[in-house]
Structure 1
Amino acid sequence: MADTNAPLLIKRYASRRLYNTETSDYVTLEDIAGFIREGREVKIVDLKSGDDLTRQYLLQIIAEHESRGESVLPIGVLTDLVRSYTTQAQSVVPEFLAMSFEMLRDGQSKMVENMTALNPMASMPGFEAMRAQQEAFMKAMTGGMSGQWSGPAASEDEGGEEAGDELSEIKKQLAELQSKLSKL
């Protein structure tokens, strides 16, 4: 069995085909996206030169999802990211983005915990199945971001107060849903 804590090594051949070294088969970008959604770290290297191509392929995966209408990154965030490459903000943007997603991940974990701990229905038969469905729903809605994250989030200009307001609104809606579930 493969060590799921170690990064999954994907080798890119001269033909641009991607080879999964654990399963000894070729994979697509969508396969790699699936590994990442499952919480797996990946490392993509060029077979001939040994260059690390991970960043390039992760950006390509994001670009493909965005171009298919699966927009996660608002235009303002994308614009701010482009600006950050030409300003002195470039040095703080990566840290800010990493911290933002860390906070988002922690908030999601706490929200799922609170749904279980504060719910009087927890002792009812079938509650565990319903909770599992809620967790699956949350994972689907967030694209499985509960695994390790090392990518971008909203920039400080875009995400500051608006992100807090959005989070408050989400918490409010979740509380209303929880209240409705309790009444059932």
Structure 2
Amino acid sequence: MADPDKPLLIKRYASRRLYNTETSDYVTLEDIAGFIRQGREVQIVDLKSGDDLTRQYLLQIVAEHESKGESVLPVGVLTDLVRSYATGMQAVMPQFLASSFEMLRNSQTKMIENLSQLPNPMAAVPGFEALRKQQEAFLKTMMVGMPGWSGSGPAKDDEAPASADDIADIKRQLAELQKKLSKL
């Protein structure tokens, strides 16, 4: 039985074929991308050497999607990433990117939560509830491909929507990160 809390172990054979150890079958890069979209962590290791190849394969998946016209990364961002390898930003970049994506995930979760909890005077209009459910389903569908999005909403049901203080705190943290980056 698969344990969704543990990373899915994929072994790369000498023939470069990728083997799913949970289902005992070979998988493609697109299969691995599908596991990740479903919220599963994946670890890819070389069978012979034991080297962790996860980063290489994730970069390959991103590169393939970008080359197919499914562009998510603007040229400016890619250029800055390349530059970061030659500057002192290399040490700060991983933390900055992780924080940025975490803020994005939190914002998406709060947006979905707020949409479903706001009282709306339009609720009395016939067919409004069906329209609201359609919009919510659309947003959930749009966010399925976003990193970390599980589709299940926030972990705590009693979590309050973002207040002005929360937003101010987020802006302050972002300003601090920008100051650190500009110093580098």
TM superposition score normalised by structure 1: 0.73
The Cα of 1:145 is off from its aligned counterpart by 2.3
CA shift for structure 1 position 134: 2.6
**C-alpha distance in 2, partners of 1:55/1:94?**
13
What secondary structure is seen at the aligned counterpart in 1 of 2:39?
Answer: coil
Question: Equivalent residue of 2:73, what SS?
Answer: coil
RMSD value over aligned CA atoms?
A: 2.2
Instruction: Give the structure 1 partner of residue 159 of structure 2.
Output: none
Task: Give the match for residue 144 of structure 1.
Answer: 146
Do 1:139 and 1:146's aligned partners in 2 also have CA atoms closer than 8 Å? no
**How far, CA to CA, are the matches of 1:134 and 1:116 in structure 2?**
13
What CA deviation, in whole Å up to 9, does each residue of 1:52-88 have, x standing for no partner? 0000000000000000111100000000000000001
The residue aligned with 1:36 is: 36
Instruction: Answer yes or no: is 1:72 the counterpart of 2:76.
Output: no
Quote the offset at 1:122 in angstroms. 6.7
In structure 1, runs of 5+ residues without a counterpart are 149-155, 161-184
* Corresponding pairs, count: 148
How much has 1:136 moved relative to structure 2?
Answer: 3.1
Unaligned runs of 5+ in 2: 151-173, 179-184
CA positional deviation for 1:118: 0.9
Q: Distance in 2 between matches of 1:80 and 1:104?
A: 20
Which aligned pairs between 1:157-168 and structure 2 lie closer than 5 A? Answer: none
Alpha-carbon distance in structure 2 between the residues aligned to 1:119 and 1:85: 49
The Cα shift of 1:139 comes to 1.9
- Offset of residue 125 of structure 1: 5.2
Contact preservation (8 Å) 2:12, 2:19: yes
Q: Which residue does the alignment assign to 2:108?
A: 108
Percent identical residues: 68
Partner Cα distance (1:18, 1:102) in 2: 30
Q: Distance in 1 between matches of 2:85 and 2:18?
A: 29
TM-score, scaled to structure 2: 0.73
